[in-house]
Amino acid sequence: MPPEAHDRAASLPEGSAAHYSGLPAVNAYAHSRVSGPFTVVLVRGEIDMAATDDLTEHLDAATSRPVPQVLVDLRFVDFLDCSGLRALCRAERRAKERGGSLRLVCDQPRIHRLLRVSGLLSRFPPLAELPPECRPESGPGPRPQE
C-alpha cells in the first residue's frame, strides 16, 4: 500500500470500515461483521415490512460472497412477520446457490413457534447461541438499544 493510501485509511471516520469491508453500514435493524469463516448478521427490533429493506441490505451483502457462511442472530428481535421470513428464505436460497449456508441463532420460543407453524423449522433449525468462534471478545454484553 502506498504511504498516501495508508494515511487515508488511518483517517477514516469511525464506523466507515464496514463500507470498505464490503459490509453495509449499521442501521436501525441490522449490523454485520465477519468472524472467522462466518458473516454474522445481528438483527434487532421489529422486523416487518418497514424494516425488511434494511435487513435485506445486510443479508444480500452477506450472501454475495463465494461460499457464504452466514449466521443470522435473531436473539434481539421483538417481532418477526412474513416479510422478514421471506427475506430470510431468499437469503438462505442465495447462500445455497453459492455453495454456502445460512443458519439462524435464536433462543426465543415465539420465533421457534413462528418457524414451526410456517413450516420453516426444518429449513431453519435454530442454534441457541453463536458458536464460540463467533462470539464478540467482550462477551455477550448488554442488549442492543433500539
Alpha carbon separation from 116 to 5, 110, 123, 125, 134 (Å, rounded):
51, 10, 10, 10, 26
How many other C-beta atoms are found inside a 10 Å radius of the C-beta of residue 26? 16
pLDDT in tens, 14-57: 333 344 468 999 999 999 999 989 999 999 999 999 999 999 99
pLDDT in tens, 51-102: 999 999 999 999 999 999 999 999 999 999 999 999 999 999 999 999 999 9
Supply the pTM of this predicted model.
Answer: 0.79
State the DSSP H helix or E strand holding residue 12, giving kind and residue range, or none if neither: none
Cα separation of 9 and 3, whole Å?
10
